[in-house]
Structure 1
Amino acid sequence: MIVDFDVAFEDHVLKGDQFVGSGSNRILYLHGAGASSRHGHRLLRGALQQRGLGSTCFDCIGHGETGGALAQSSVASRTRQAQAVADARGLPQPLAVFGASMGAYNAIRMTQSHRVDALVLIVPGVYTPDAYEVPFGPAFSAVIRRERSWADSDAWDILSRFEGRLLVIAAENDATIPLEIPERLVAAATRAQSRQLHVVQGAEHNRLWSLLAEEPSRFESAVDMVAAMLT
């Protein structure tokens, strides 16, 4: 069963859905930037639902059915949107927070405001604090396009205090996220209950789960690895 919902946030209405699980429903799934929306993550969410693991996902401002202008949002706003959805939907804590691309950084930030015992970061992007509150647009792009602007991200420090389970999934041929970022994220999580980096061979930044789905045994193995984070 899939349940659609609306959550009021400032002057917007966030559109989302819950893939209802028969076992647990504590996954908050955060999509990436660009043309991303919640619908791009149905492969993994559907497979997890079949294993009894429900997930909640929504379209951030400027994306999908929520719509609006990207300039009305920022990385910081996306974190606040995620917090608003988790609270409005009454997601049980501790949360399991999944984040793809930019959403991975928002997922890391969620550990500062909510109890989180599992983080799954997929082709993760991280950002310098200088970019956090800057509205999306030319000014934001100028900050993040500085050479290695991500190197001084606070993500490393935040993760150094995380005590749950961490899984970072990287794409071998990611032209957007250098492998150094997922490697450093795992290395930073020194207090984590467990930490693992999995590099999907042949995958690209926007073609990871769809590539795996072409080989059912490979896809199922990857989903099992993700599902193990919640047990």
Structure 2
Amino acid sequence: MTTAGTPTLAADGERLACTVVEPAVPARPGTALLMHGAGNSGRHRCLPLARELAAAGCRSVVFDFAGHGESTGELGQLSLARRARQARAVLERHAPDGPLLLVGFSMSGQTVADLLGEPDIGDRVRAIALGAPAAYARDVRELPFAAPEFTATLRSPGSWRSSTAFETFAAFDGRAVLVLPEMDEVIPAEVTNALDAALRTRAAYTRLVLPGADHMLGTWLSGHPEHRAQVAAALLGDA
């Protein structure tokens, strides 16, 4: 396989750092887009899985959202809506056509749902993988993460129930993989259970629980090649 350096992409008023991992022998149609979570996360956490997919013949792309890694911007000014716009821009540059596989860790579980909800993208998506995914209230979509209203809504019991993720995932009829740690100290069990129920509605669904893993699944998978291969196989339909 070959890994591009660090090409940058102008999008949403920022410069986004991207890495494209090309398989040595392309054996799968389309491209996988892998998206990291919030906090101090970045595309480096997704690279091991991206390389695993490329080793299986699937072209893969990872990038840093604004305010993360080597991309420009301030994390506090990022929002769920901006995340979706930035992911879309990466797809338009690096995967403008053909089938798509979307992978989202933690906060990017919502970003996967947001992309699926855009018909011109959603119609191309053949498979999704969600690692310890989160879901967020509709009302916070446009709010910067630093806004007090964003945090206040997140702390409001049950606010996540208004997320668009549930109806979007319930309508998805491709291949869906839910990857969960044995112990998740971040995502409430009721959120996970609601996402599980939505994914079971129409998708060809696989649920993987990784023994010994915690919420930081990208980092954990980098040190557990056997489980990383299991996740890749499930996403590609080889399991």
TM-score of the superposed pair, with normalisation by structure 1:
0.90
Work out whether 1:53 is the aligned partner of 2:62.
no
2:222 and 2:86 map into 1 onto residues whose CA distance is 30
Which residue of 2 is the match for residue 129 of structure 1? 138
Which residue of 1 is the match for residue 230 of structure 2? 221
Unaligned segments of structure 1, at least 5 residues: none
Give the secondary-structure state (helix, strand or coil) at the position aligned to 1:66: coil
**1:50, distance to aligned residue in structure 2 (A):** 1.4
Residue-by-residue CA offset, 1:46-73 (whole Å, 9 max, x unaligned): 2222111221111111101003112332
Give the conservation status (yes or no) of the 8 Å contact 2:14–2:66. Answer: yes
**1:126, distance to aligned residue in structure 2 (A):** 0.7
Which residue of 2 is the match for residue 101 of structure 1? 106
1:79 and 1:149 map into 2 onto residues whose CA distance is 20
2:227 and 2:36 map into 1 onto residues whose CA distance is 23
Point out the more displaced range, 110-119 or 95-104: 110-119
Change (3 A) 1:154 1:215: closer
1:66 and 1:102 map into 2 onto residues whose CA distance is 18
Q: How does 1:58-207 map to 2 (within 5 A)?
A: 58-113=63-118, 114=121, 115=123, 116-139=125-148, 140-189=150-199, 191-206=201-216
Residue-by-residue CA offset, 1:136-177 (whole Å, 9 max, x unaligned): 114222221222321221211111221211111111211001
Point out the more displaced range, 10-19 or 22-31: 22-31
Change (3 A) 1:197 1:15: same
Residue-by-residue CA offset, 1:86-133 (whole Å, 9 max, x unaligned): 012234333110000011110111112202121100010110011111
**1:191, distance to aligned residue in structure 2 (A):** 4.8
Identity between Structure 1 and Structure 2 (%)? 31
**1:180, distance to aligned residue in structure 2 (A):** 2.7
Which runs of 4 or more aligned residues in structure 1 lie more than 6 Å from their structure 2 counterparts after TM superposition? none
1:94 and 1:176 map into 2 onto residues whose CA distance is 32
2:109 and 2:91 map into 1 onto residues whose CA distance is 16
Point out the more displaced range, 153-162 or 95-104: 153-162
Which residue of 1 is the match for residue 27 of structure 2? 23
Give the conservation status (yes or no) of the 8 Å contact 2:32–2:100. Answer: yes
Which residue of 2 is the match for residue 7 of structure 1? 9
Point out the more displaced range, 108-117 or 213-222: 213-222
TM-score of the superposed pair, with normalisation by structure 2:
0.87
Give the conservation status (yes or no) of the 8 Å contact 1:186–1:196. Answer: no
Give the conservation status (yes or no) of the 8 Å contact 1:170–1:179. Answer: no
2:127 and 2:182 map into 1 onto residues whose CA distance is 23
Work out whether 1:32 is the aligned partner of 2:37.
yes
Give the secondary-structure state (helix, strand or coil) at the position aligned to 1:160: helix
Pairwise CA RMSD = 2.1
**1:37, distance to aligned residue in structure 2 (A):** 0.5
**1:210, distance to aligned residue in structure 2 (A):** 4.8
1:223 and 1:118 map into 2 onto residues whose CA distance is 11
